[in-house]
Structure 1
Amino acid sequence: MNVDVEIIQEDNSEELYERKSFTVDKGQEATRIDKWVQSHVEGVTRNKVQNAIDAGFLTVNGKTVKCNYRIRPGDDIVLMSLINPEYTTVKSENIPLNIVYEDDDVMVINKPPNMVVHPGVGNFSGTLLNGVVYHLQQQNPNIDEEKLPRFGMVHRIDKNTTGLIVIAKNGAAVAHLSKQFFNHTVKRQYVAVVWGNVEADNGTIVAHIARHQQNRKMFAAYPDGETGKHAITHYQVLERFNYVTLVQCVLETGRTHQIRVHMKHIGHTLFNDWEYGGDRILKGTIYTKYKQFVDNCFDACPRCALHAQTLGFVHPRTNEEIFFTAELPNDMQQMITKWRTYISHRKIEE
């Protein structure tokens, strides 16, 4: 039996799912798929395997099957499963959510700044997921993580990043969406303000991404391709302010801190991104008035200037591609207006 394990790693904090692939050996007896998987995956119960099959988390030769399917030699089996599902219980909290769209299968939320997406060390309450649990339990008091793994979370965005995130509302939707994220078919477009005047009107950044060798909380670009995971970001200049640039970024892959790392890699750190050095003046004059102006911009947008503006995916029930857009939040709009006004009233100093 050949086994291959791949991990889904998204832009934000940690891996959510892994994909385990199996090829059934020649000479294998015709055995029920649920029984076979239980015997080949360590620590899994037959009930959990059956739940995964019912939810569409398991495919044979690219198609979903029923629990009584009997495997055949040469079958290619793919199982999507949570990584480290044992974590702090998520408590229900009545937290207001900016819901952009909702139906029986999915919910699209426009996340505000300074909100952690998922409970973790130091953030056990007040997260987006705490609010999602409350919202879902108002609709179905019996819902729990056995019926809906991680309460439908299939991807994340950073605490200080604003914008769109999709939540699945049932197991089938979780399976469908997690496969789309794994296969990089989800359409994601971000808007960012970066330091410096980006020379090219558009371009593509190709560089592997892995944890920084000195600071394990950060990530770094490795263009030689020998370290980390393959990552591609396409960017386009939207507006130039000489000292900073408004850009649009489209992700072809989804890696932790991908936009932040890739833009820093080409010399354009995101504005006010304190983790990567963007919270100090990286381009501009030496004059005190300029420093005061930049400090005012930092105050207007006291976070990394990054917004998940567009999200597109195939709906798990209708199989139609749907798109959602969230306007720039007020803090980024105010900061951009300040730069636009500053440049229009002053002689540019190189």
Structure 2
Amino acid sequence: MTEDQDILQEDNSEDLYERKLYHVDKGQEPMRIDKWIHLRLEGASRNKVQKAIEAGFVTVNGQQEKSNYKVKPGDDIVLMSLVNPEYTEIKPEAIPLHIVYEDDAVLVINKPPNMVVHPGVGNYSGTLLNGVLYHLLQQNPGLTEEDLPRYGLVHRIDKNTTGLIVLAKTPDAAAHLAKQFFNHTVSRKYVALVWGDVEQDEGTIVAHIARHQRFRKMFAAYPDGETGKHAITHYRVLERMNYVTAVECILETGRTHQIRVHMKHIGHTLFNDWEYGGDRILKGTVYTKYKQFVDNCFDLCPRCALHAKTLGFVHPVTKQEMFFESPLPNDMSQVMDKWRGYVQTKLKQSPNGTLDL
């Protein structure tokens, strides 16, 4: 294998794209870049490679080039491509979408709970992307995935996480947004309800994240940095409710389940996060009434209590900074109100005006 065939670096983007870096070796004969890339991407058609180049998914020495550019020794080529694109046919479905903003380039949606973002094993229909495809086809009946890969999906949020997600409506917009997510210039804040009284008002969690060694559907934190991918989460306490705490989380990186894994790592599992053990009492008393109260809270918010509250990015066309904010969904608002009421009642009943933890 020659030097130019070696991928020097392969980094996962925040969610759906990866960046592959190639260095062209000294013996390379002049060759069109579309052909050069086509020879190195298994399963990619020459036409798809050309469209990727035109959309800006490929740069040479930091500059965008056309498909007829001739690669030469010493060139550094960067390719943004879909990460592990598990191929599942996407069928349009008339699913109601809460569209927060839309123009010719981008689509911002407020995702409800219990909705998977894109089709995959076990979820072939009813996903956000099924609804997005239907919506896009009303505007452009001839649209295909060849024209717009994954129909503009550039990042994901978990099935039971609510909140804001942005999609691209053109290949150019997809390339622009994918680069922003990869470079971590997208501004996103989440609100989570976690078990326990978080000790510090604010802090930063630094711990690699990788699949759990025993439970392969879960992820785990590896603070020694020898396993998994680098991950950083900043958090700030919003409200303390003794047995639970509302926190704001800002992702400096964007790994799968990052907030859920990092908060569990510091001892504050997300409320009702069944995959990570948050669907049982982790803090509080042993009294039957308290158990009934918590069970009622689980019923009110029957999911992991996590909401993608804000989203900010640079518009791919106008280059203006865009910012969106989504209010807390009813299930999280109601369960937080219930905790506030519980704490206030207990404080009034306490002889010393404190609530023991």
Partners of 2:36 and 2:314 in 1: CA distance: 31
Is residue 272–residue 298 contact of structure 1 (8 Å, CA) maintained in 2? yes
Q: Within 5 Å, which residues of 2 pair with 1:295-334? A: 295-334=295-334
Partners of 1:314 and 1:167 in 2: CA distance: 13
Is residue 5–residue 18 contact of structure 1 (8 Å, CA) maintained in 2? no
The residue type equivalent to 1:302 in the other structure is P
The change in CA–CA distance for 1:124 and 1:40 in structure 2 (over 3 A counts) is: closer
Q: Within 5 Å, which residues of 2 pair with 1:54-69? A: 54-69=54-69
Aligned residue in 1 for 2:44: 44
The change in CA–CA distance for 1:84 and 1:201 in structure 2 (over 3 A counts) is: closer
Aligned residue in 2 for 1:34: 34
Q: Within 5 Å, which residues of 2 pair with 1:144-223? A: 144-223=144-223
Give the TM-score, by structure 1 length: 0.95
Aligned residue in 2 for 1:248: 248
Aligned residue in 2 for 1:230: 230
Q: CA-to-partner distance for each residue in 1:293-336, whole Å, 9 max, x for gaps?
A: 11111111111000000111111112222111100000000000
Is residue 8–residue 23 contact of structure 2 (8 Å, CA) maintained in 1? no
Partners of 2:325 and 2:201 in 1: CA distance: 23
Is residue 285–residue 349 contact of structure 1 (8 Å, CA) maintained in 2? no
Is residue 197–residue 243 contact of structure 2 (8 Å, CA) maintained in 1? yes
Is residue 237–residue 246 contact of structure 1 (8 Å, CA) maintained in 2? yes
The residue type equivalent to 2:234 in the other structure is H
Q: Does 1:285 align with 2:285?
A: yes
Cα deviation, residue 158, structure 1: 0.7
Aligned residue in 2 for 1:103: 103
Structure 1 vs Structure 2 CA RMSD: 1.4
The residue type equivalent to 2:356 in the other structure is E
Partners of 2:41 and 2:345 in 1: CA distance: 66
Partners of 2:273 and 2:85 in 1: CA distance: 31
Cα deviation, residue 141, structure 1: 0.3
For structure 2, the residue ranges without an aligned partner over 5 or more in a row are: 348-354
Cα deviation, residue 5, structure 1: 4.3
Partners of 1:4 and 1:321 in 2: CA distance: 33
Aligned residue in 1 for 2:120: 120
Is residue 301–residue 335 contact of structure 1 (8 Å, CA) maintained in 2? yes
Give secondary structure in 2 for the equivalent of 1:245.
Answer: strand
Partners of 2:330 and 2:271 in 1: CA distance: 16
| Aligned-pair identity (%) | 74
Partners of 2:43 and 2:286 in 1: CA distance: 61
Q: Which is worse superposed, 339-348 or 211-220? A: 339-348
The residue type equivalent to 2:30 in the other structure is A
Q: Which is worse superposed, 71-80 or 18-27? A: 18-27
Q: CA-to-partner distance for each residue in 1:37-70, whole Å, 9 max, x for gaps?
A: 2233334332121111111111111111111222
Cα deviation, residue 178, structure 1: 1.1
Partners of 1:33 and 1:295 in 2: CA distance: 60
Q: CA-to-partner distance for each residue in 1:1-56, whole Å, 9 max, x for gaps?
A: 2523424254xxxx632222111222433322212222333343321211111111
Give secondary structure in 2 for the equivalent of 1:247.
Answer: strand
The change in CA–CA distance for 1:319 and 1:327 in structure 2 (over 3 A counts) is: same
Task: Find the partner of 2:7 among 3, 10, 14.
Answer: 3
The change in CA–CA distance for 1:114 and 1:84 in structure 2 (over 3 A counts) is: same
Aligned residue in 2 for 1:82: 82
The residue type equivalent to 2:314 in the other structure is V
The change in CA–CA distance for 1:236 and 1:42 in structure 2 (over 3 A counts) is: same
Q: CA-to-partner distance for each residue in 1:218-244, whole Å, 9 max, x for gaps?
A: 000000000000000000000000100
Aligned residue in 1 for 2:351: none
Partners of 1:189 and 1:122 in 2: CA distance: 29
Partners of 1:44 and 1:89 in 2: CA distance: 17
Give secondary structure in 1 for the equivalent of 2:31.
Answer: coil
Partners of 1:212 and 1:85 in 2: CA distance: 22
Partners of 2:220 and 2:29 in 1: CA distance: 48
Partners of 2:49 and 2:30 in 1: CA distance: 18
Aligned residue in 2 for 1:73: 73
The residue type equivalent to 2:158 in the other structure is D
Partners of 2:109 and 2:167 in 1: CA distance: 8
The residue type equivalent to 2:238 in the other structure is L
Is residue 232–residue 253 contact of structure 1 (8 Å, CA) maintained in 2? yes
Partners of 1:275 and 1:217 in 2: CA distance: 9
Aligned residue in 2 for 1:349: 356
The change in CA–CA distance for 1:85 and 1:195 in structure 2 (over 3 A counts) is: closer
Q: Which is worse superposed, 160-169 or 287-296? A: 287-296
Q: CA-to-partner distance for each residue in 1:143-198, whole Å, 9 max, x for gaps?
A: 11000000111111111100001111111111111111112221110000000000
Q: Does 1:340 align with 2:340?
A: yes
Partners of 2:301 and 2:26 in 1: CA distance: 61
